[in-house]
Amino acid sequence: MIETRDITLKYSGNKGIFDLNFKVEKGEAFGYIGPKGAGKTSTIRVLMGLSHSSKGLATINGLNCFNKAAAIQKITGYIPEETSFFDGMRVKEYLNFISRMRGSSRSKKTGLRDSLIERFELETRGKIENLSNDMKQKLAIVTAFMHDPEVLILDEPTNGLDPLMQSRFVDLIIEEKRQGKTILMATHMFENVERTCDRVGILKEGHIVAQDDIIQVKSAEIKSYFVRFEAHPNLEQLKKYGFGYKQFSEKDYEILCQGDRIDALVKVLSHEKVLVFNSNTQTLEEIFQKYYSKEAINA
Amino acid sequence: MSIPLFLKDIKDNIFLLLIFVFLMSLYLGVIIYMYDPNGVGALVDMLSLLPVALVKAMRLSTIDSGLTGFIGSLFYGIIIYLFPMVYCIILGNRLVAKWVNDGSFACLLTTPNSRVKIIVTQGLYMVFSIIVLFSVLFLVGLAISGYCFPGTLDKSVFFELNLCACLLTITVGMICFFFSCLFNDTTLSLGFGAGILIIFFLFTILSGISDLTAFLGKYSLYNAFNSLAIVKGEANIVTICVGFLTISLLLFAAGVGAFGIKRLPV
């Protein structure tokens, strides 16, 4: 179980994390989301004992994250936002070294490791510094999972992975969750969280602005669609149902719709002849507009 | 101490150690080979051509006529400050600050080993490698002088020279180690580690030049090791050794303590 109580870590220029409180229960997957620079990595650094918070307490399985970092590492797998490996080491050599640092002998327990190498198609020959960025990320994944940890702390785990590997990673997380692992996944990509996490915490400028069930977050999502009509549409209907829109030309529109009102939008559009209907890829800022604007009002 | 990490340290730094073992052994061998049992007349003649201040700065103003004294002046005079100083500066930085600076230290901290355990391992490697360096020098000295001039070397004095020089170098190494633990940035770690040692070295050189500058010697760690006094039997070996050991331990503890509580940028 991961718990933070009022943890605060300030950097210069009003940056940092402030009075963070969240709890990830055993067997739960928690998505920790926010744009870059919101404080996700700072939080994880406190959890991993790399930084000590200036205020508050962070614990994993009841152990103090700073003082008991070694005991926590025994049961934890960690993927850093960006891993720097040792110069001049080969992939196999590195994995063996980390296994020995974990106190397991080379011959034991390589089964899980080998299956992970195979699953992610990790290139094990050659030196780490010559690997491409996605290979390095795969190596970080194998390193974090190879000792079958109970708790997983993942910071942008799919960074640099191609869509196929991303989906293999999501499958892995789903399997781990089924085995009762406790997972905290920090990401700015909503797609990763959508398929794996039960709950999400939304972080903005070092504050948690919302902690919600994933379904509720999805319903708060503002979706945007590009629509081309055959003829000039009936805008009165759109306005009446409260949909925002932007007009690009006489027939091209961008329509904004909250996640729980898609059904209403489909009904309105059914009266028109629609030629093109594209869902727009959204940035996290757009997705969490609701939370962000709420925060702005409170501030 | 973490054994796998210690083995990695040996593997990573063996080449550096071998270079210094080789260079210093070569130097020591050549000096012993140069010794003329019939007197050091030729060397004294040569030194008389140089300015007095330079000879004094090089600590060669008095050369003992025995083999042990000859090695004591020529090898344990200045060389013993310079080579190990460079070794300690490079190694000190490589053991801690380099990995913190490039972020790879995080790999160590994702394993179930406490910071203290990891950093103690790094410090012990420093001590271990310096002991290896001086053990080899001691054996090389014994072997070459035994081969060239059997029965001439005063073995117990030669041992004392090596013991004190070894402890001096461990202290020097701990200065570099401390700054390597304290700073997250290799520039600062190198700057402070090397800077302080160079100041000590300059003070020692300058203190030998004239009576006006002699007071500087009091502020230099290097002046605590005086090879001629050891050769002449005038030095209190126990005091010197206990002094170096105490300073080394304090620096080691301070380095470990500083590293244990700091925020790591990895």
Q: Where are the domains of chain B?
A: 3-261
**R_g of chain B, CA atoms, integer Å:** 20
For B222-239, write each residue's pLDDT tens digit: 989 988 889 888 889 999
Q: Contact at 8 Å (CB) between A152 and A181?
A: yes
Strand order in the sheet with A182-187: A76-79, A151-155, A182-187, A29-33, A199-204, A207-213
Contacts of B104 in chain A (CB under 8 A): 84-87
**Contact yes or no for A84 and B103 at CB 8 A:** yes
Whole-angstrom Cα distance, residue B228 to residue B237? 13
pLDDT of residue A297: 44
Strands A55-60 and A63-64: antiparallel
Any idea which of A90-94, A246-250, B38-42, B72-76 has the lowest mean pLDDT? B38-42
Token digits of residue B242: 């206990």
Contacts of A82 in chain B (CB under 8 A): 103
B96 contacts: CB under 8 Å, gap ≥ 6: B105, B119, B122, B177, B180, B181, B189, B255, B259
Token digits of residue B132: 């290896």
* Beta partners for residue A226, in sequence order: A254, A278
Helix (H) or strand (E) holding A209: strand A207-213
Token digits of residue A188: 């700015």
Of A210, A173, A185, A222, give the one whose Cα is nearest residue A298: A210
Residue A205 confidence class, pLDDT cut points 50, 70, 90: confident
Contacts of B107 in chain A (CB under 8 A): 83-86, 94, 98, 143
**Structural domains of chain A, ranges and CATH numbers in brackets:** 2-213 (3.40.50.300), 222-281 (3.30.70.1560)
pLDDT-above-70 percentage for chain A: 90
Q: Contact at 8 Å (CB) between B169 and B88?
A: yes
Average pLDDT over residues B180-202: 94
pLDDT of residue B178: 97
Whole-angstrom Cα distance, residue A72 to residue B112? 7
For A110-156, write each residue's pLDDT tens digit: 889 999 999 999 999 889 999 999 999 999 999 999 999 999 999 99
Token digits of residue B251: 């620096």
pLDDT of residue B50: 80
Token digits of residue B120: 């103690």
The residues on B that touch A, with CB distances below 8 Å, are 2, 4-5, 8, 12, 99, 102-104, 106-115, 117, 261, 263-264, 266
Alpha carbon of B198: minimum distance to chain A alpha carbons (Å): 29
**Contact yes or no for B263 and A50 at CB 8 A:** yes
Whole-angstrom Cα distance, residue B187 to residue B192? 8
Whole-angstrom Cα distance, residue A69 to residue B260? 11
pLDDT of residue A148: 92
Alpha carbon of A293: minimum distance to chain B alpha carbons (Å): 33
Whole-angstrom Cα distance, residue A230 to residue A251? 7
Residue A283 confidence class, pLDDT cut points 50, 70, 90: low
Token digits of residue A196: 């794996």
The yes-or-no verdict on residue A290 having pLDDT over 70 is: no
* Beta partners for residue A227, in sequence order: A253, A277
Average pLDDT over residues A259-266: 86
Provide the phi-psi class of B180: left if phi over 0, else alpha when psi is between -120 and 50, else beta: alpha
By Cβ distance, the residue of B99, B103, B111 closest to A102 is: B111
Whole-angstrom Cα distance, residue B215 to residue B217? 5
Any idea which of A127-136, A148-157, A211-220, B199-208 has the lowest mean pLDDT? A211-220
For B16-69, write each residue's pLDDT tens digit: 999 999 999 999 999 999 888 776 667 777 777 788 777 777 777 776 678 998
ipTM: 0.87
**Contact yes or no for A84 and B109 at CB 8 A:** no
* Beta partners for residue B6, in sequence order: none
**pLDDT top residue among B266 and A41:** A41
Number of H helices, E strands in chain B: 12, 0
The yes-or-no verdict on residue B220 having pLDDT over 50 is: yes
Fill in the DSSP letter of residue B8: H
Helix (H) or strand (E) holding A279: strand A274-279
Whole-angstrom Cα distance, residue B99 to residue A275? 58
Dihedrals φ, ψ of B141, to 5°? -60, -45
The yes-or-no verdict on residue B149 having pLDDT over 80 is: yes
pLDDT of residue B40: 66
B45 contacts: CB under 8 Å, gap ≥ 6: none
The yes-or-no verdict on residue B132 having pLDDT over 90 is: yes
Fill in the DSSP letter of residue B236: -
The yes-or-no verdict on residue B139 having pLDDT over 90 is: yes
Q: Contact at 8 Å (CB) between A183 and A177?
A: yes
Sign of the torsion angle spanned by Cα atoms A287, A289, A295, A296: positive
pLDDT of residue A288: 62
The yes-or-no verdict on residue B114 having pLDDT over 80 is: yes
pLDDT of residue A279: 82
Cβ-in-10-Å burial (0-12, 13-18, 19+) of B148 comes to middle
**Contact yes or no for A69 and B266 at CB 8 A:** no
Q: Which residue has the tokens 């049992």?
A: B37
Any idea which of A33-37, A66-70, B83-87, B124-128 has the lowest mean pLDDT? A33-37
Contacts of B119 in chain A (CB under 8 A): none
The yes-or-no verdict on residue B206 having pLDDT over 60 is: yes
Q: What is the DSSP string of B44-99?
A: HHHHHTS-HHHHHHTT-SS--SSHHHHHHHHTTTTHHHHHHHHHHHHHHIIIIIHH
Cβ-in-10-Å burial (0-12, 13-18, 19+) of A1 comes to middle
* Beta partners for residue A254, in sequence order: A226, A246
**Contact yes or no for A51 and B112 at CB 8 A:** no
Token digits of residue A161: 């992975």
Residue A35 confidence class, pLDDT cut points 50, 70, 90: confident
Q: Which residue has the tokens 């602005």?
A: A209
The yes-or-no verdict on residue A48 having pLDDT over 80 is: yes
Q: Contact at 8 Å (CB) between A179 and A265?
A: no
Could you count the other beta carbons within 10 Å of the beta carbon of residue B161?
27
**Contact yes or no for B263 and A52 at CB 8 A:** yes
Q: Contact at 8 Å (CB) between B139 and B32?
A: no
pLDDT-above-90 percentage for chain A: 53
Whole-angstrom Cα distance, residue B114 to residue B227? 41
Q: Tell me, rounded to whole angstroms, the distance of Cα B162 from its chain centroid.
A: 10
Contacts of A49 in chain B (CB under 8 A): 109
Average pLDDT score, chain A? 87
pLDDT of residue A298: 46
